[in-house]
Structure 1
Amino acid sequence: MKQRRRVLAASTALLAAVPLAIAAMSANASIPPPASGWTQVWGDDFNGSNGSLPSSANWIIDTGHGYPGGPANWGTGEIQNYTNSTNNLKLDGNGNLRITALKDGAGNWTSARIETQRSNFKPPAGGKLAIEGRIQMPNVTGEAALGYWPAFWTLGSPYRGNYWNWPGIGEFDIMENVNGLNSVWGVLHCDVAPGGACGEFTGIGNSRACPGSSCQSAFHTYRFEWDDAAKTFTWFVDGQSFHQVTQARVGVNVWNAMTSHAGHFILLNLAMGGAFPNALNNNQPTPVAATQSGHSMVVDYVAVYSSGGGTTTPPTTTTTTSNPGGGGSAYSDLQAENASERSGGSVSPGDGGSGVHQIANGGYLKFSGVNFGTGPARQFYARVASGAAGGVSGLVEVRLGSRTATPVGSIAVGNTGGWDAWRTIPANISNISGTHDVYITFTSGQPAPYVSVNWVKFGT
């Protein structure tokens, strides 16, 4: 979905058929149990009252025409304005999420886009991760469908807060469709653009017709599997494999750039117009006057499953941690509870381990003798959660050598959806090298606790 144009021919060739348990389900079914050998590690079945928004503990609602400071029109040329209105985004009371594209009397389109709070979906070392959704594309075809662009996809976690490091951080398009065509596209975006190992802005993709009923007239199950042992990405529709990319195809360095960071976050959106639908409309702009308003992408569930490897869940931190007492590599997780000095908050379990919880204004963490090497480090990451009351927020700041030194970087944290709703938030920092005592300080205009911290780390 990111900065690209694309003309991909539909193909009905199947790479393989796999015996996944894809059962016929009613529209308001719960998440199906995992196949043998798999464990569900996250999911949303979108059960809730009619007209309510999706869970804020699970989802972030994107609004406007792009991320603040990011590419215009979300980097794709799409024309709609994303909103948090229940006219565009809501649970329908029957176990589904509906994302609806609407055109007003002035010809302006609105729609919706959401992304998971979690941004660390990846397989355990040597294991597998599967991301799956049961979705009905907007039920509109022909000229009335020109410009409709539904998608179910992921982006690498370093994209959050940067917005200019695409496609190197990786993008997995699990399901894309344009213009009401009876096809599902599966696409990998990687490396650099234009060109690179993935041939950007097109990406490495394949497509096929939906099995049985058309993509528009019925629900189908779309699945992406990431196999860390085999070094493969594989795409499925209704249990049938139709696309695969191997590490050998893109090279080890490109593969590692997509897979060695904290993980990916999942997105669902319904765009209108842009490079992809325009390309499949003889390079003419979409939507057109005949495009019908009011059609919806309907999502029954989204689930993430894990299999094999050293753990049954995607790791919430990297496998390398800081030394007790707070020192170690700047590029490993500096666990908050291991800080050599701490003021404020309390150590308690959370996010698969422990952290320092409910820190307020004036608190700090000190990590002694943190080694940045020759670096230089240009990124700071903090794994945080907040259940702070409305209007309560604050800064997580990085200072070197002293608690009162000028911050070299900071992030702003407000309510993330609850004290257990963890997010990895990145920030740009000044170029840092050498060895330093690192102070993480907490500054807020309110006295109430506003942030819990699992870990912090740095990146180049």
Structure 2
Amino acid sequence: MARTRGLLAVATAAIAVAATAVFAMQADAAVPGAPSGMTTVFSDDFTGAAGSGLNTANWLYDIGTSYPGGAGNWGTGEVETMTNSTANVYQDGGGNLVIKPIRDASGHWTSGRVETQRTDFAAPAGGKLRMEARIQQPNVSGAAAAGYWPAFWALGAAARPAAATNWPSIGEWDIMEDINGRSSVFSTLHCGTASGGPCNETTGLGSGEHACSGCQTAFHTYAVEYDRSVSPEQLRFYLDGANYFTLNSSQLDATTWNNATHHGMFMILNVAMGGGFPAAFGGGPTSSTASGVPMLVDYVAVYQSSGGSTTTPPTTTPPTGGSSRDAYSQIQAESFDASAGVQAETCSEGGQDVGFIANGDWMQYNNVDFGTGGVKDFVARVASGAGSGVSGLVEVRLDSRSNTPIGSFALGSTGGWQTWTSIPGNVSGVSGKHTVYLTFTSGQPSDFVNVNWIQFRK
């Protein structure tokens, strides 16, 4: 999953950050409770023993200088090698994660980059998602800080199986970046196509440089909130609880926005050294760059609100004739009642799957019974042999193909058209009997997915 980010435009005016002292608190604060109307769906307070590694049930380590099959130097030109060594990534025994870049005697840098195992952090239709971390940036400035690039960010779930060769269409949310010890923060949405396009890549749609006084010497909170309860939808970025940058869905075409947001995400914490972004502000690392100055992470948390308890069909009435389908049993993809643009074919897992699926295609399943509610997500068994940079959204809609999706996920190549994986997607609460549509959206015309079955889960 190559973080292929380019040079960000620089905002020449810096805004003073108020009330810094309020947030220059103790080094170990408890994970805050969920904001009003939201629930905590993931958190880590990093309370392990001094010198211990991370809980690998929650986190995976990125190793080396690229993802297998992904862009070299993590797609950004950075110079370090990422490791899982406790010299670079460890818990300090005081409630913090430490990510420490180190230069060896030959001048080679090592550092750490970790990702959440989960890739399903998503805002359901009509709901919200908030990702938050309390971080002290590396306490280094001036010539000693040249090349330092700490970051807290997230990538679309489809990046993981595709080594992010489908970047930036699957979405990248940069929640906190600082470079060269500038005591500032940058936030950015990357989306659309890899060069130019609606999101001005490789720069992205960003906040510019925002002043962050004391961010090297004390802990501050950084967050993004994706709000699907408002129209237009919004991505809001926060420093110490203050919203300083907002993007509206109306700023982009619907396909680009949906591909970047309407699916699961996974979070990443890392300290890079060098690369295109630091180069835009003087470069580095150099012989004057200090080794061993860490980024400290007190906690990370993910909060979510639902989109409502019941989905009511606004435009059509579901069919009442024929036998019911149980939403909580596997619904074979080839058992559709109607479809467009797809074909059934022999499946390597037995029986048939539905393939040749591209942008605008759909499948319809009548009389799907959700009972009295309680559905929390759906799982689709999918495969993709799509080429580099080709990805799309698998969406679930009720009772009309024009209704807002109740759930979705993004998908890139899984390694082959019969290389199957099960991918979950959050859904809004549903009850009763409905016609279920699977719809498919992509920014490219090529086929991007095969489907074997879907199943809803309570």
Inter-CA distance 37–375: structure 2 relative to 1 (3 Å threshold): closer
Tell me what 1:232 maps to: 234
Tell me what 1:177 maps to: 178
Aligned equivalents of 1:321 and 1:41: distance in 2?
27
For 1:427, the aligned partner's letter is T
Do the aligned residues in 2 keep the contact of 1:100 with 1:111 (CA within 8 Å)? yes
1:426 Cα deviation (Å)?
6.0
1:325 Cα deviation (Å)?
5.4
For residues 198-254 of structure 1, the C-alpha deviation after alignment (integer angstroms, 9 at most, x for no partner) is: 1111111113112xx411111000010001132110100001111111111122110
For 1:252, the aligned partner's letter is A
Tell me what 1:372 maps to: 355
1:33 Cα deviation (Å)?
1.3
Q: Which residue of the other structure, out of 254, 257, 260, is the alignment partner of 2:259?
A: 257
Q: Percent identity?
A: 44
Aligned equivalents of 2:53 and 2:286: distance in 1?
30
Tell me what 1:158 maps to: 158
Name the SS of the counterpart of 2:415 in structure 1. strand
Tell me what 1:91 maps to: 91
Do the aligned residues in 2 keep the contact of 1:151 with 1:269 (CA within 8 Å)? yes
Inter-CA distance 240–440: structure 2 relative to 1 (3 Å threshold): closer
1:459 aligns with 2:449: yes
Aligned equivalents of 1:135 and 1:174: distance in 2?
12
Name the SS of the counterpart of 1:243 in structure 2. strand
Do the aligned residues in 1 keep the contact of 2:382 with 2:423 (CA within 8 Å)? no
For 1:428, the aligned partner's letter is G
Tell me what 2:285 maps to: 287
Residue segments in structure 1 that go unaligned for 5+ positions in a row: 313-319, 332-363, 378-396, 400-406, 410-423, 433-438, 442-452
Tell me what 1:276 maps to: 277
Tell me what 2:8 maps to: 6
Tell me what 2:250 maps to: 248
1:123 aligns with 2:128: no
For 2:278, the aligned partner's letter is P
Tell me what 2:307 maps to: 309
Aligned equivalents of 1:321 and 1:227: distance in 2?
31
Inter-CA distance 330–223: structure 2 relative to 1 (3 Å threshold): farther
Do the aligned residues in 2 keep the contact of 1:183 with 1:208 (CA within 8 Å)? yes
Inter-CA distance 218–257: structure 2 relative to 1 (3 Å threshold): same
Aligned equivalents of 2:100 and 2:9: distance in 1?
25
1:288 Cα deviation (Å)?
0.9
For 1:295, the aligned partner's letter is V
For 1:183, the aligned partner's letter is S
Aligned equivalents of 2:250 and 2:333: distance in 1?
33
For residues 177-198 of structure 1, the C-alpha deviation after alignment (integer angstroms, 9 at most, x for no partner) is: 0000011111110101211111
Tell me what 2:392 maps to: none
TM-score by length of 1: 0.69
Tell me what 2:192 maps to: 191
Aligned equivalents of 1:59 and 1:249: distance in 2?
34
Tell me what 1:219 maps to: 219
Name the SS of the counterpart of 1:193 in structure 2. coil
Tell me what 1:348 maps to: none
Aligned equivalents of 2:143 and 2:301: distance in 1?
33
For residues 12-46 of structure 1, the C-alpha deviation after alignment (integer angstroms, 9 at most, x for no partner) is: 459x99xxxx8764212220112222211101011
Tell me what 2:57 maps to: 57
Do the aligned residues in 1 keep the contact of 2:24 with 2:220 (CA within 8 Å)? no
1:428 aligns with 2:418: no
1:172 Cα deviation (Å)?
0.2
Tell me what 1:356 maps to: none
Aligned equivalents of 2:278 and 2:189: distance in 1?
18
Aligned equivalents of 1:305 and 1:167: distance in 2?
24
Tell me what 2:71 maps to: 71
Output aligned runs, 1:42-53, within 5 Å.
42-53=42-53
Do the aligned residues in 1 keep the contact of 2:79 with 2:109 (CA within 8 Å)? yes
Name the SS of the counterpart of 1:223 in structure 2. strand
Alpha-carbon RMSD: 3.5
Tell me what 1:209 maps to: 211
For 1:178, the aligned partner's letter is I
Inter-CA distance 27–323: structure 2 relative to 1 (3 Å threshold): closer
Do the aligned residues in 1 keep the contact of 2:237 with 2:244 (CA within 8 Å)? yes
TM-score by length of 2: 0.70
Do the aligned residues in 2 keep the contact of 1:158 with 1:169 (CA within 8 Å)? yes
Name the SS of the counterpart of 2:269 in structure 1. strand
Do the aligned residues in 1 keep the contact of 2:131 with 2:225 (CA within 8 Å)? yes
Aligned equivalents of 2:295 and 2:179: distance in 1?
12
Aligned equivalents of 2:256 and 2:286: distance in 1?
39
1:7 Cα deviation (Å)?
3.6
